Amino acid sequence: MKRRVFLSLATAISALGLAPARAQGPAPSFTFPSIDGGEYDTADWRGRPVLVVNTASLCGFSGQLRDMQALHETHEGRGLVVLAVPSNDFRQELATGKEVSEYCQLEYGITLPMTDILPVARGEVHPFYAWVRQQTGFVPQWNFNKVLLGPDGQLLGTWGSFIKPGGRQIMGTVAPYLSA
């Protein structure tokens, strides 16, 4: 009984975005297929903080794409990388990467790096999300969950859907790693 209550409480805390990252070694390099072809390699971003967000075009939280783009525009010059990872794990994504790319560009003016549609919480999840799960126990419970890596690849934090990408929790964590 106590274990079930603890697990329910842990799930609720994670959904609210209150789950701290546990200390561990730096992330290995991961590659992500780009939504427009090619790929992104996290090794190319070493020395920069990276905010990874699982997204879905048809989700009620999709307005956060606008926030993500604003972060990208405001802080890219200070080193921040904002990576959108579209996923249909919660059945709220368009059918193809091309549709997602066109929709996000038209509706939100997205120019930030965006991957192809990937599983993040269910089934054969992308290796990055498998690593995050293994390191911290964090699994996206819905769309627009956030994972922040420090410049050295350390996992700095995880947040749920209700925490906005430019919110004080994330910005307070990432601020020390942004260049002047």
What six digits make up the tokens of 39? Answer: 């790929």
Q: What are residue 128's phi and psi, to 5 degrees?
A: -60, -45
CATH number of the domain that residue 9 is part of: 3.40.30.10
Give tens-digit pLDDT for 6-20.
Answer: 334 444 444 444 444
- Collapsed DSSP state (helix, strand, coil) of residue 149: strand
pLDDT tens readout for residues 60-107: 999 999 999 999 999 999 999 999 999 999 999 999 999 999 999 999
Look up residue 125 and give its two tokens. 């999840």
Predicted model pTM:
0.87
Alpha carbons 177 and 29: distance in angstroms, whole number? 19
- pLDDT surpassing 60 at residue 162: yes
| Model pLDDT, residue 27 | 85
Q: What is the pLDDT of residues 52-68, one digit of tens each?
A: 999 999 999 999 999 99
Considering its fold, how many domains does the chain have in total? Answer: 1
Residue 56 near residue 68 (C-beta atoms within 8 A):
no
Find out whether 163 and 14 touch, Cβ atoms under 8 Å: no
Segments forming the whole domain that contains residue 17: 2-177
The token duo for 104 is 């996000």
Helix extents (H) in 87-158:
97-108, 127-136
